[in-house]
Amino acid sequence: AWVAERAGKEQKVEHTVGVLRQFLVEPFVPHPQDTEYYININSVREGDWILFTHEGGVDVGDVDAKAEKILIPVDLTQYPSNEEIAATLLKKVPEGVHNVLVDFITRLYAVYVDCQFTYLEIN
């Protein structure tokens, strides 16, 4: 019903107005709140910022204030090691999931670069 009410009709989100034609709907998978994470990658003149917080979900709040951050320089020969990524971004995440999350972050960043994104956010 929610999609049907909005599909093909003009919608306003903040200052942007447009017609919604495509929707991505995912099934809800019950899970503990402490397994929700948030990641944001955004481009700046100096490189790309990766922001990560162990508090994801719909009430993620002020990400800039609580996220751990790492700057990936334009010169990718200076790309941080897996250990540096874990030590910088995953301070508040159980060590048992560090390897999986570092692998995910590294692969996500590769897609970000390959597709020439300037902003990506997953909550």
Please tell me the pTM assigned to this model: 0.76
CATH H-level, domain 28-122: superfamily:
ATP-grasp fold, B domain (3.30.470.20)
pLDDT, tens only, 70-101: 999 999 889 999 999 999 999 999 999 999 99
Which two tokens mark 76?
């990718």
Task: Locate the DSSP E strands across 6-113.
Answer: 10-13, 16-19, 38-44, 47-53, 68-73
pLDDT, tens only, 101-116: 999 999 999 999 999 9
Q: Which residue has the tokens 């897996």?
A: 82
Q: Where are the domains of the chain?
A: 28-122
pLDDT of the residue at 16: 92
As a dihedral over the C-alpha atoms of residue 59, residue 60, residue 66, residue 67, rounded to 10 degrees, the angle is: 170
- Whole-number Å distance between alpha carbons of 123 and 117: 17
**Average pLDDT of 26-44?**
88
Which helix (H) or strand (E) segment holds residue 119: the answer is strand 119-122
pLDDT, tens only, 37-71: 999 999 999 999 999 998 766 666 677 778 999 99
**Average pLDDT of 6-25?**
90
**21 vs 84, residue with greater confidence:** 84
